[in-house]
Chains A and B, each alone.
Chain A
Amino acid sequence: MKKAINVIIAGLGGQGVIKASDILSQAAFRSGCEVKKSEIHGMSQRGGSVTSDVRFGPQVLSPMVPPGEADFLVVLAPDQVEVNRGQLRAGGVLIAPDMIDPAVLSNRKSFNVALLGALSTHLEISETHWLMAMHACLPDKLHAANEQAFAAGRQAAVADKNKA
Chain B
Amino acid sequence: MNTNEQRCENLAGGPPSLLLSGNSATALGALHGGVALGTGYPGTPSTEILEYFSQIGGKGQWAPNEKVALEVGIGVAYAGARALVTMKHVGMNVAADPLFSAAHTGVVGALVVVSADDPGMASSQNEQDNRRYAVAAALPMLEPADSQEAYDFTLAAIEISERWKIPVLLRVTTRICHTQALVRPRAALPRPAPYFEHDLRGRNLIPSNARPAHRRLRQKLAEMSDWSETTPLNRVIPGDKKIGIITSGVSFMHAREAAPAASFLKLGFTHPLPLKKIADFVRGVGRCVVIEEGDPYLADAIRAAGLKIESKSEMFRFGELNVDRVRRILAHDQATEPARPPGKPPELCDGCSHHVVFQALKNLDCIVAGDIGCYALGVLPPYSAMDCCVCMGSSIGIGLGLRHVLPAAEAKRVVSVIGDSTFVHSGMTGLAEMVYNPPPTGHVVVILDNSTTAMTGHQEHPGTGRTLDHAATGKVVYEDLGRALGIEKVHVLPLGKDCAEFQQMLKESLASQQLVLIVARRPCILAAKSIREYEKLNEKTGLHGKCDQCAVAREEVVQ
Contact = CB atoms under 8 A, between A and B. Distances in A.
Interface of A: 12-13, 19, 22-23, 25-26, 29-49, 60-64, 66-68, 79-80, 82-83, 86, 136-137, 139
Given A33-B12, A36-B180, 5 more contacts: A38-B179, A45-B457, A47-B344, A48-B346, A66-B324
A153 B122 CA distance: 32
A41 B45 contact: yes
A47 B343 contact: no
A42 B123 contact: yes
Contacts of A49: 343-345
A137 B2 CA distance: 9
Contact of A83 (B322, B341, B345): B341
B6 A26 contact: yes
Contact of A42 (B11, B44, B180, B338): B44
B254 A12 contact: no
B347 A48 contact: yes
Contacts of B12: 32-33
A46 B374 contact: yes
Nearest to B320: A64
A12 B344 contact: yes
B237 to A, nearest CB: 12
24 contacts: A25-B19, A25-B180, A36-B180, A40-B123, A40-B178, A41-B457, A42-B44, A42-B45, A43-B122, A43-B123, A47-B349, A48-B345, A49-B343, A49-B345, A61-B254, A62-B253, A63-B253, A64-B254, A64-B323, A67-B324, A83-B340, A83-B342, A136-B6, A137-B6
B137 interface: no
B178 A62 contact: no
Contacts of B487: none
B247 to A, nearest CB: 12
B86 to A, nearest CB: 15
Contact of B181 (A30, A36, A44): A36
Interface string B237-264: 0000000000000100110110000000
Nearest to B344: A49
A46 B181 contact: no
A123 B12 CA distance: 18
Contacts of B79: none
B394 interface: no
A83 B339 CA distance: 11
Contacts of A41: 44-45, 122-123, 178, 457
A46 B344 contact: no
Contacts of B347: 46-48
B182 A46 contact: no
Given A38-B178, A40-B123, A86-B341, A29 B254 contact: no
Interface string B316-336: 000010111000000000000
Contacts, number: 133
A12 B434 CA distance: 41
Contacts of A36: 146, 179-181
B44 A35 contact: no
B322 A37 contact: no
Contacts of A83: 340-343
Q: Is the interface of A mostly helix, strand, loop or mixed?
A: mixed
A12 B254 CA distance: 27
A33 B332 CA distance: 35
Interface in B358-383: 374, 377
Contacts of A25: 19, 180
Contact of A67 (B11, B338, B344, B349): B338
B253 A29 contact: no
A41 to B, nearest CB: 6
A71 to B, nearest CB: 15
Given A46-B346, A66-B322, A136 B4 contact: yes
Contacts of B174: 40
Nearest to A136: B6
B10 interface: yes
A32 B179 CA distance: 18
A39 B44 CA distance: 12
B175 A64 contact: yes
A150 B254 CA distance: 34
B169 to A, nearest CB: 22
A42 B257 CA distance: 28
Given A25-B19, A66-B324, A44 B182 contact: no
Interface string B35-48: 00000000011000
Given A45-B457, A136-B4, A39 B178 contact: yes
Contact of A62 (B4, B8, B254, B548): B254
B3 interface: yes
B455 interface: yes
A66 B323 CA distance: 6
Given A35-B19, A62-B323, A46 B348 contact: yes
Contacts of A82: 341
B182 A34 contact: yes
A120 to B, nearest CB: 17
Nearest to B337: A67
A160 to B, nearest CB: 26
Interface centre among A63, A83, A137 (most CB of B within 10 A): A63
A48 B344 contact: yes
A116 to B, nearest CB: 13
Contact of B250 (A22, A29, A63, A86): A63
B122 A42 contact: yes
Contacts of B340: 67, 83, 86
A59 B12 CA distance: 13
Return the 10 tightest CB-CB contacts between A and B, nearest first: A49-B343, A42-B123, A48-B346, A32-B12, A46-B346, A22-B4, A63-B179, A42-B44, A66-B323, A61-B257
A137 B457 contact: no
A37 B374 CA distance: 26
B123 to A, nearest CB: 3
A24 to B, nearest CB: 10
B45 A137 contact: no
Nearest to B3: A137
